[in-house]
Chains A and B, each alone.
Chain A
Amino acid sequence: MCLGIPGKIVEIYEKDSLKMAKVDFGGIAKEACLAYTPEAEVGQYALIHVGFAITLMDEEEAQETLRLLQEMADLEDEIPG
């Protein structure tokens, strides 16, 4: 139930005095509430859980994690066995 899926914010609007968004999940669009990520902008990725953005994805941190892992994978390639 704590399933959270990162989706791309494609449109922001207000509904019932809440900041809402249309979020794209790889081709499937759903509505999500941005009340807890008021700084969110169109084009950013948010982690959506039960119709709410609970955090915005941090692109820099994501790249850093992947860079470190790539280094590890490259190193493995160099070591025989």
Chain B
Amino acid sequence: MKYLDEYRDPAKVKALLKEIESVVTKNWAIMEICGGQTHAFLHHGLDAMLPPQIELVHGPGCPVCVTPLEQIDRALAIASRPDVIFTSYGDMLRVPGSTKDLFTVRAQGGNVRTVYSPLEAVQIAEANPDKQVVFFAIGFETTAPANAMAVLQAKNKNIKNFSVLVSHVRVPPAMEAILGSKTNRVEAFLAAGHVCAVMGFHEYPPIAGKYNVPIVVTGFEPIDLLNGLLAAVKQLEGGQAFAENQYQRAVKFDGNESAQKTIQSVFQSTDRKWRGIGVIPQSGWGLSAEFQEFDAEKRFDVENIFTQESSLCIAGEILQGLKKPPQCSAFGKQCTQQTPLGAPMVSAEGACAAYYRYHREEIKA
């Protein structure tokens, strides 16, 4: 497929690997923020081909993984109601809550449906006026324009039986939280290309300057990933730290301003708790004052939620890049893709799922 296949050309991959090898002289820890990039690195076996000086630190860019347990439990409570059709992106269905997941709710008779686009959830609401239709609006900046448009459509069409359970998070505050942490090891970032397709990368030069850290906007194909790494290594070796773009075919400095405008009208900045990490100030979006009527948390009584995380799961340390999945005692044993203890084992962007799929040889005996 155009814009994908030509970025998987083995000759160019080889040339980039050689170039990285010739530039690198010291050890560097580079974080790819986005879980999609973690999977791409491992899927293509690129992590094993990199020079040993480069350590990939896997970031928290997995929306399914960082959606707080309380919010999963609220989703489970709402989805269990007989008057509700609960709609969600497919990858949320197997994320473990305190006692069960959305699949279990469906097996127990709950009306849980997966949608490809949030506009489908609005259509389901229109087609089922006697039901409350709730959409689980999770995701990073990439997904926010779509989720915002669903709410806007519901308002424009005066659809009263539609609401959203919002758990939106943003990348730049998480990067600052990582860089500001005492345990931080990250020396450069590969910034998430599709987040930047929406938001641009004007938020990154101040972060690069303040923390003296290279930030390279990077795509998802093998050549993109290596090109991003090469740029980061060149900056690190040259003692430089600035924001640059290696994903020019999809990302402009200012991003998609039309999408940003809609996000800003439907959502407002708010503190968000990240599962396994904790509260990061102003790190997410909630519904703005004008759209409060669509807030599922207000429409349904889901305030008193008692949560309980697995005592074995070390998802928090994984998501902060402090440990790698094979360092977890439960990895590949009590915790597998069939029986996940934590969200990173579920998601197609979770680091544990990536290691389980592509590095199973590392499961300890």
Contacts and interface: CB of A to CB of B under 8 A. Distances in A.
Contact of B250 (A25, A57, A70): A57
B119 A33 contact: yes
Contacts, number: 146
Interface stretch (B13-21, B42-50, B96-104, B354-362): B13-21
Interface residues of B, number: 57
Looking at chain A's contact residues, the main secondary structure is mixed
A33 B153 CA distance: 12
A12 interface: no
Interface in A47-81: 47, 49-52, 54-55, 57-59, 61-62, 64-66, 69-70, 72-73, 75-76
Given A2-B195, A33-B119, A61-B248, A76 B14 contact: yes
Contacts of B223: 69
Interface in B1-44: 1-4, 6, 11-12, 14-16, 18-19, 34, 36
B250 A58 contact: yes
B143 A51 contact: no
A70 B157 CA distance: 51
B16 A72 contact: yes
Interface in A1-55: 1-6, 8, 16-18, 25-26, 30-33, 35-38, 45, 47, 49-52, 54-55
B197 interface: yes
B111 interface: no
B146 A38 contact: no
Interface centre among A30, A36, A75 (most CB of B within 10 A): A36
Interface stretch (B74-82, B256-264, B326-334): B256-264
Contact of A52 (B34, B89, B146, B248): B146
A37 B198 CA distance: 11
B12 A2 contact: no
A44 B198 CA distance: 18
The 6 A-B residue pairs with the shortest CB-CB distance, nearest first, are A51-B117, A61-B248, A73-B15, A62-B249, A6-B3, A2-B142
Given A2-B36, A18-B119, A58-B249, 13 more contacts: A2-B143, A2-B194, A3-B220, A16-B157, A17-B156, A36-B256, A37-B256, A55-B252, A57-B250, A65-B246, A65-B249, A69-B15, A72-B15
